[in-house]
Amino acid sequence: MLVSGNGSHAVGRSGHTAAAEVSTSPRQFQRGIAGVRAMVDVGVEHGVPVLACLDGSGVDRDALADDTAHVRAWQELVVARNLVRATGDAPGLGLEVGSRIPLRTYSVWGFALLASPTLREAAAVGLRYLELTFAMVGIHLQEDRDEVRLVLDDGLVPQPVRHFFVEREMANIRTILDTIVGRPFTPLRLDLRFPQPEEPAPYEAFADTPIAFGAPRNAIVTLAAALDQSLPQADRHTMQVCERECDLLLARRADTGLAARVRDLLTQWPDGIPDMGVAAAELYVSTRTLHRRLAVERTSYRRLVDEVRHARAVEMLSTRGLGVDQIAARLGYADAATFIRAFRRWTGATPGAYRTGVPTRRF
């Protein structure tokens, strides 16, 4: 979740006293199941039963094993509260969870960072598409003279889980940086707003980095020059392809109305694609009403099915080792040839060529 400016907010030095700053905050958007899964896994290791972790969240236990499952931010907050309460807000709990969310779980967002030519460009991608991540805190990148501060603003996070989410994001950022840089990334220091714990063991993962507890802000601090270092897996074409896919995902998540509900239904449908009558029944409307209201929103059921198939196909090709036949079946196509034709129409490439162009093997 390293973030920086986008095309309209350049990050750079802004004089001899002021710091350049850009920021963003997460919204109540849909996200993958990996964040909840990591919390449950850590909870079980601390003696917290799975159902106790999920209590009140509306997340089904079976969804934890489904990489295509999605949850809302509020559901993730409920699971975090359960975990923090059950473990007595143990220091380092968030660090354990954050280190278990690898870059590959972010699908095309992660690939875009990995393929960026420099850390600065990876940062710009990170901010522009932050809503495709598991971030729960606001993230600000400040560049001032020779230092860069990646500030984690926990002001919008409920008090009982602030400590947890600051730790989680810091550990996850460290994991992401290690991956895209290709070696352990060592910051100049960490600034943490909370007091120093009596037991420092949980912070041994940052043993090579000075930690300032009781600081005025939560931040990862490093040299500004680090932003301009080249990344080992740079591939501008791949980055641009992934950015286009991120744009599509963001546009779909920003939609409201019945079309958005249909997309959610299709995205979470366990196998294949339901026909329009089944979908209408699930949404408690008639087929005729569904058709009419989608037309008012300038779309159609067929178009939404096509969009969801596109998004799910890209996700499965990017993050899972499924064959073309398997993906075609999961998307409800009669055969692989029909799926291949559709995929070529969406992306201009065959599934095999697309998979080769995305560096899944480099994670």
Tens-place pLDDT, residues 107-141:
899 999 999 999 999 998 998 888 889 888 888 88
| Residue where the block lists tokens 């919008």 | 156
Residue ranges, the chain, pLDDT below 70: 1-29, 252-256, 319-320, 357-363
pLDDT at res. 17: 31
> What digits encode the pLDDT tens for the residues 135-144?
888 888 888 8
**Could you tell me how many residues make up the chain?**
363
Question: Could you give the count of Cα atoms lying within 13 Å of 138 in the half-sphere of its Cβ?
Answer: 14
Cα 26 to Cα 138: distance, rounded to the nearest angstrom: 6
Cα 86 to Cα 100: distance, rounded to the nearest angstrom: 20
Q: Please, is 89 exposed, middle or buried when counting C-beta atoms within 10 Å of its C-beta (0-12, 13-18, 19+)?
A: middle
Q: Which residues pair with 178 in a beta bridge?
A: none
Decide if 109 contacts 132 (C-beta within 8 A): yes
Please give the helix or strand (H or E) that residue 192 lies within, else none.
Answer: strand 189-192
SS3 (DSSP) at 153: strand
Cα 237 to Cα 257: distance, rounded to the nearest angstrom: 34
Structure tokens at 35: 């964040």
pLDDT at res. 199: 77
Angle between helices 119-128 and 236-254 (to 10 degrees): 10
- For 134-155, b where at least 16 C-beta lie within 10 A, e where not — what string? bbbbbbbbbbbeebbbbbbbbe
pLDDT at res. 259: 85
